Structure 1
């Protein structure tokens, strides 16, 4: 159980679930009005801590510099959204809703409070009072703390799309001109001369004979060969652009009221100031 003396170690420190997953950072601790014991802690969750979830603290354990609670991270993040009023209190209806969400029996919690001799753990209309990280005024202090909010802007990296390479085959018609040759038969007649007379007179005088000539031609032959022509790859290029982020922050102003004083002429002086 977390004591009041350990609150400073809890606030603005990490909060983990029972399996070691970080839920967020502790922002506020709520106390029971009557018992004065810590009852709830709010945890900043979501991107840049934009959400604040309530989680019971009485079963939490302080481990080194962080708080461990017996609830899963997703359970805490999905807890009912509760708005705390200006007085920093939970209504009975709001606390009842939180108890029911976390599986804590309302009547049992009330009986346990009675067994400790202090009424109102689960039966008062104002269940808890906030202990904030800034703006709390200690009792007996004659100074007032002025606080203001600061805006912290970060970036998140997210996927915006996917690009892929896909290779497929297409067929296209290619036309090329190539020369081809062929042979044709030509009949030649030559007169008998002294040079060919002997060849012409050889053999028998009258006979039948045949002479055959083989005719040739060329035809185009098509062959294909696969050759590499280029390599293609995907790469990413990071570019930096300027974006303006606007938000609202709250500041506390302190106004002073001075008592009226009587001057020498019998009139009164006084004034107010702001900081």
Structure 2
């Protein structure tokens, strides 16, 4: 049989042979003689309120993963055995038969320590006595399971032959009486056998929040402009006019310079700053529609008819 790390199993998640997640490993059961892991319980059902017994023969442990050689449906539909009570030979045989494993009755002659969820280690098997507490003489050949608290406590070593059997018998009877009520702990219904189904409803509201700020900022941009300006200028040309009469008789010969002043217009550039427009900010409300998506949970109610599997009244449970 393979060797398993008990502490790792207590924080492991069980997966089916098809890779589907089944649930968290809740309890680990050890053989008191061999100290080998033989059974684990796995949380199944809605919200993991049910514990299913699964033999670990053929399972593979990889860190916090425990891959069982059964599918999720097979584990979920396992016979309902109260995890808080000892297994009788009939119950253990029924589990082996359900998982199609050979049962020769030898398993009923071994004691098992149950390690509850937490950090714990199994104790050393005894000789005349056995590790831990709780054993009933009426099931001296049965598979007894002893609870080890989930607080890092290590189960005690072997007791002596003179262990107080009467006290254990009375305690076991009290456990079985309380266990009758615990069979229905997965049910949330009332006395009439009904359950209240809940579901989440999606309510969408609105909130107003600041998304940003807008401001006006004025800056200078330089543009180049070209303007055509009409201009005038004076030019000189020679104009000859013949003399007549007395103008032609009087005169002297000599040199003479005559100056004429010429004028022209040139463009003169001048700039002035003038206001051209007034710019302001105005807010307006734009309406739009957004689609909101969210996941909502709801409870489903299934009824398992255990009569089809031939289970006893003690094992019959409804899965909610």
TM-score by length of 1: 0.43
TM-score by length of 2: 0.37
